[in-house]
Structure 1
Amino acid sequence: MNSTATLPVSNTERSPLIRLYFGRGILAIGWALAFAAGHDPLTAVALILLVVYPLIDVVSSAIDHRTMSPGFERRVTALNGAVSTLAALALGVAGPVGGAPAVLGVFGVWAVISGAAQLIVGVHRRGPVFGKQWPTLISGGLSFLVGAFYFAQAIGPEPSLDVLSTYATGGGVFFVVQAVLLAWKSRSAARG
């Protein structure tokens, strides 16, 4: 009887997250396609796209933050939104001032911090309501590792921004997969 009473709450909790993850994933994939088509040379359009990408994270964090209960997970999400805001500002400055090496360095640092935040939130969301969160955990872990690689590449002999489209595509795919898994869990719970 108790588990039946919690099913509607669980599905209600999942619905905003499903929409958020799906929308965020589609935006990331769209961003990757646009950036891949026009980032070399580093034009004004490419710089705008570089600033927009972390702003997608800012908006997503704000939406997610609004739906969370007070606690550690909510504070991590707020911190991630703040760091992403700083990353957007830093990318807006890094491009014109330092070119590809500076952009890759800023993006790398941001990916490390954002990936760590995603890992923490994914671990805290594991359970009967949101599932095992493996796509979120893999995506966060990869973001952390790839960010460190980007930072190292930024100080190397030939830093290239080509890798950023791959990064955004991978992240987008993982968000879409997480949305699909949550939707499947909601449908299964509604039938059961």
Structure 2
Amino acid sequence: MNTKTPPSGTSSLLKLYLGRGVLAVAWAAAFASAHDPIDALTIILLVVYPLIDAVSSLIDLRAYQYGSEGRLTLFNGLLSTLAAVGVGLAGAGGPAAVLHVFGAWAVVSGAAQVLVGVLRRGPELGRQWPVLIAGGLSFLVGIFYNIQAFGEHASLDVLSIYATGGGVFFIIQSGLLAWRARRSRTQTV
């Protein structure tokens, strides 16, 4: 595990978290008005969301390629790419099929996010509470989605809430990183 974070890495991570958060909230707003019925636009949006995560993972990997953290980030990027394909295909099967795929992805990627957050808990990157909370909630919500998919009234409404929550947590984490970086600069001057 890397215990020293390069200053450019902190700045890159701050921008990445902010961009990822804003994109997630924007996606949620678009998806909230376009998911019923499941049509071509819905499927495109379903594919785009995990691709945002996949691209974010690859950008993250460029800044932080260290040991198990880098392997987890790479794994999450590959998993998100597979999830994009999976939800695209599941769209033809209706809301229950989409919830199963999305839920499985949320469980595994949430667990990976928690592990990366734990590995990043240090003096340069802070406690990572928003990332840890978002990963933990993703894990739990993914289980809920799979349970909901077995019910009679499976609905994709919940995906906008999921994306909004995750986006807000990433925006909060970027704000905390900015505050920490500013505080470090003023203490070293």
From 56, 60, 65, give the equivalent of 2:61. Answer: 65
Say if 2:52 is the partner of 1:56. Answer: yes
Match of 2:11 in 1: 15
Which whole-Å CA distance do the structure 2 matches of 1:138 and 1:92 have between them? 27
- Per the alignment, residue 109 of structure 2 pairs with 114
Question: How far did 1:67 drift?
Answer: 1.1
Q: How many residues align?
A: 184
CA deviation digits over 1:107-158, x for unaligned, max 9? Answer: 0000001100100000000010100000000000000000000011111111
Q: Which residue of 2 aligns with 1:136?
A: 131
1:94 corresponds, among 90, 101, 105, to 90
Residues 69-88 of structure 1 deviation map (CA, whole Å, 9 limit, x = unaligned) = 33000000100111111100
Query: 2:121 maps to which residue?
Result: 126
1:46 to 37, 42, 45: 42
Give 1:121's aligned amino acid. V
For 1:177 and 1:61, the matched residues in 2 are separated by: 18
Distance 1:114 1:133 in 2: 16
Letter of the 1:166 counterpart: I
Aligned partner of 1:84 in structure 2 is: 80
1-structure distance, mates of 2:6, 2:65: 14
TM-score, with structure 1 as normaliser: 0.94
Q: Does 1:157 align with 2:152?
A: yes
Match of 1:170 among 165, 171, 176: 165
Contact in 1 for aligned 2:99/2:149 (Cα 8 Å): yes
Question: Would you identify which runs of 4 or more consecutive aligned residues in structure 1 move more than 2 Å?
Answer: 9-13
Give the CA deviation at 1:10. Answer: 4.7
- The amino acid across from 2:130 in the alignment is P
Structure 2: runs of 5+ lacking an equivalent: none
TM norm structure 2: 0.95
Contact 2:54 2:81 (8 Å CA) reproduced: yes
Percent of aligned pairs with the same amino acid? 60
Q: Distance in 1 between matches of 2:104 and 2:6?
A: 35
